[in-house]
Amino acid sequence: MTTAWIDGQPVSSGEAIREAAKLLSMSRLPLVTGRFDDISALREAARVAGFSGGVLDHSDLGRVAPLIEALRDNGIIRISPGEVRRRADRVLVVGADPFAGSEAVFEQIFAVDPDLGAKAKGGQREIVLLGPDEPGRFSEVKGHVRTVGCPADQLGDAIGVLRAGLGGKPFGDGPFEEGAARALAGWLKDAAFAAIVFDATELDAISIESVAGLVSDLNAETRASALPLTAGSVYGAAEGAIWVTGFPLRTAFGRGDPEHDMMLNDGAWLISSGESDARIMLSYDETALDVADVPTILLSTAEEPAGEGARVIFKIGRPGVDHPMVHHEPRFGSFVSTPAEHHGMATNAADILSAIADQLGKAHHSNDEARA
């Protein structure tokens, strides 16, 4: 079975790996990108970026860039979903449906009543949905649910109004009237343990900072914590990149040491500006990709991998399906390993990336940390 192609011609994987390494080493500033659902692939991709003097990015990083910005500019008091499930007697859900794409977390939290904490124990959870007019997926959950309507583009304003209300400060007409705002602020303050849940990919950095500020203000006297949700693999990939490179992706190794820049190292920008002249990309997309803009090495899970204009193509297995994977599990708030669903011959993208990195490492630093 063919698993590697050069210019559309089937080749051995060894040949393809050598060609990929050659292409990357000849490139001025290669882009190493993709979705990296599997942290193993990310760890190896970081080595590829390091050895080839390239830039490491994730195709979805833009979705969590505001969260990353808010976390490192301001900080936050945050909580894991398991603890929300057991302890939060009052939950403020910000946005129309922050649990879209995070259904498992929704199940985990709202399937039961809170049972920890002397004050929360035995009572039903109170849930306020800030945003939608209808309870939506909350119509079936345990607990008392009510909605407070708020347009999506005014959620940040609403949080600001709650903070002003909590602080006894004046504010003008906003998403809801003054009495309701002050009442909602009081409701949060009187919780045994309040949780504020939001979709971090829907709010801008300042709004996330506002949520963090509201939680911080609440904690002056009571307990409250924030739960940012980020559906998909990108937040986990950013976490993984931090220990390997020091930064949450968008990190360049052109000068050896890692250099981070959310704008200048954005993969899409690098390709459109022409600053990157080659690319290695990990794709779980089943459709053909147009990658003719720069010489591209494509690692694809597609049944018949096709990359319009790809120089080198590797067919890879699906992580957690064809081979085991390590990924960030939002319910757990940390990394877990998942075994393969079945044992097949499909190649692990991490192994290919690792082989390319070894090949590059051989050329550059014969004595570096090449794995035995």
Region 210-239 residues binding another protein, contact defined as CB under 8 A: 210, 213, 219, 222-223, 225, 239
Q: Which among 277, 239, 256, 335 is positioned nearest to 31, based on CA atoms?
A: 277
Q: Residues 276 to 315: which contact another protein by CB under 8 A?
A: 277
Cβ proximity to another protein: between 126 and 275 the closer is: 275
Closest to 152 (Cα-Cα) out of 120, 129, 119, 185: 129
Residue 13 binds another protein (CB under 8 A): no
The one segment of 142-150, 280-288, 290-298, 328-336 that binds another protein by CB under 8 A: 328-336
Q: Which residue matches tokens 């649910």?
A: 145
Question: In this chain, which stretch among 11-19, 129-137, 289-297, 326-334 interacts with another protein, using CB under 8 A?
Answer: 326-334
Q: What is the dihedral of CA 76, 133, 153, 223, to 10 degrees?
A: -10
Q: Which amino acid is at 19?
A: E
| Of the candidate residues 35, 43, 63, 279, the single one contacting another protein (CB under 8 A) | 43
Closer residue to another protein, CB minimum distance, 73 or 133? 73
Cβ atoms of 20 and 261 within 8 Å: the answer is: no
Cα dist from 248 to 63, 65, 69, 105, 243, whole Å: 13, 9, 10, 23, 9
Nearer CB in complex with another protein: 12/337: 337
Residue 28 near another protein by CB under 8 A? yes
Among residues 35 and 43, whose Cβ is nearest to another protein? 43
Site for another protein in 177-216 (CB under 8 A): 192-193, 206, 209-210, 213
The correct pick among 334, 341, 344, 363 for binding another protein (CB under 8 A) is 334
The SS3 of residue 182 is helix
Asked if 319 touches another protein (CB under 8 A), the answer is no
Distance CA 301, CA 221 (A): 52
